[in-house]
């Protein structure tokens, strides 16, 4: 058989990436692009109420931000170790016990500062009362290092993480918006098909709906939303299907 005929079905590798042949230059570019921009995101549902703790990690610097370490700090630490990450900040979306109870332990373990919106400091100081609501052990008091005010921006590698104040579920609730990742970590403000409860101290339904309408539904519809409990969703999906947002 002639050489040219024998080779006709052989893939023609034009570019190589990390020693592996890549069949098309466009695919090579896409792969590099994905590796450059996508951050590590581990979601661990922790504790009695299965609060979604997020570990955000940068592939290049190996720095991490941990959001809502509510419980099971051993599991969180194991995941950080597995991904070889060093924690540079601990962000609490709001001071309900299921989101904040493990923060002091993680802070002691990592030395990372704890961010909480000042409007939730009062709630953070009544963790013993909150423990009786759930019938769980009283956690260590949490020392807050940085006020997570509206507009605060943190960086993780090349990515910016913006804190958006969304009062309603609690007075000091915040969401984390990461435009480069197209992601929102929503705490207990917005859920798939639901919204946060407002019947606990500091809760306010009118404020919650206003926060969702003016701060969250204005984000791009394709924004991935990671709520504080349960499955993920998108801003567009909740606009269309969330029964609590129908009359906004």
Using rule CB under 5 A, residue 188 touches Zn ion: yes
Residues 90-109 that bind Zn ion (CB under 5 A): 96
* Alpha carbons 136 and 52: distance in angstroms, whole number: 18
| Whether the Cβ atoms of residue 85 and residue 109 lie closer than 8 Å to each other | no
Of 57 and 228, CB closest to Zn ion = 228
Of 71 and 188, CB closest to Zn ion = 188
Using rule CB under 5 A, residue 175 touches Zn ion: no
User: Residue 207 is encoded by which pair of tokens?
Assistant: 């404020």
Q: Is 134 exposed, middle or buried (0-12, 13-18, 19+ CB in 10 A)?
A: middle
Of 160 and 209, CB closest to Zn ion = 209
Using rule CB under 5 A, residue 120 touches Zn ion: no
Of 72 and 188, CB closest to Zn ion = 188
Of 96 and 215, CB closest to Zn ion = 96
| Residue 202: CB minimum distance to Zn ion, A | 10
| Residue 133: CB minimum distance to Zn ion, A | 11
* 174-178 and 183-187 strand pairing: antiparallel
* 86-91 and 233-234 strand pairing: unpaired
Using rule CB under 5 A, residue 119 touches Zn ion: no
Residue nearest to Zn ion according to CB distances in the complex: 96
User: Judged by CB under 5 A, which stretch of 42-50, 139-147, 181-189, 208-216 contacts Zn ion?
Assistant: 181-189
* Torsion sign, CA atoms 16, 19, 23, 27: negative
Residues touching Zn ion, count (CB under 5 A): 2
| Residue 188: CB minimum distance to Zn ion, A | 4
| Residue 203: CB minimum distance to Zn ion, A | 9
| Residue 94: CB minimum distance to Zn ion, A | 6
The half-sphere exposure of 61 on its side-chain side, counting CA atoms within 13 A, is: 16
Q: Read off φ and ψ for residue 85, nearest 5 degrees.
A: -110, 145
Using rule CB under 5 A, residue 211 touches Zn ion: no
Helices 73-82 and 103-110: crossing angle in degrees, nearest 10, is: 40
Of 57 and 187, CB closest to Zn ion = 187
CB < 8 Å & 24+ apart, contacts of 14-21: none
Of the candidates 155, 146, 149, the residue with the CA atom closest to the CA atom of residue 178: 155
| Cβ count within 10 A of residue 158 | 12
Of 96 and 105, CB closest to Zn ion = 96
| Residue 180: CB minimum distance to Zn ion, A | 27
| Residue 246: CB minimum distance to Zn ion, A | 23
Query: What does the binding site for Zn ion look like in residue numbers (CB under 5 A)?
Result: 96, 188
């Amino acid at each position: 058989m002639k050489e040219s005929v024998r080779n006709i079905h052989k893939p023609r590798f034009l570019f190589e990436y990390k020693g592996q042949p890549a069949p098309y230059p466009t695919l090579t570019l896409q792969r590099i692009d994905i590796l450059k921009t996508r951050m590590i995101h581990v979601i661990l549902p922790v504790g009695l109420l299965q609060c979604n703790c997020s570990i955000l990690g940068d592939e290049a610097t190996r720095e991490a931000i941990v959001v809502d370490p509510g419980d099971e700090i051993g599991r969180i630490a194991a995941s950080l170790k597995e991904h070889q990450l060093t924690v540079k900040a601990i962000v609490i979306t709001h001071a309900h016990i299921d989101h904040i109870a493990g923060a002091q332990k993680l802070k002691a373990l990592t030395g990372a500062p704890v961010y909480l919106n000042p409007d939730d400091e009062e709630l953070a100081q009544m963790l013993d009362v909150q423990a009786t609501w759930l019938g769980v052990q009283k956690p260590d008091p949490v020392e807050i290092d940085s006020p997570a005010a509206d507009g605060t921006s943190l960086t993780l590698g090349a990515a910016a993480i913006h804190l958006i104040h969304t009062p309603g579920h609690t007075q000091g609730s915040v969401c984390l918006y990461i435009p480069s990742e197209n992601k929102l970590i929503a705490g207990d403000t917005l859920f798939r098909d639901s919204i946060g409860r407002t019947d606990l101290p500091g809760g306010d339904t009118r404020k919650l709906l206003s926060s969702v309408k003016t701060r969250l539904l204005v984000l791009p519809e394709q924004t991935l939303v990671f709520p504080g409990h349960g499955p993920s969703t998108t801003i567009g999906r909740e606009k269309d299907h969330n029964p609590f947002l129908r009359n906004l």
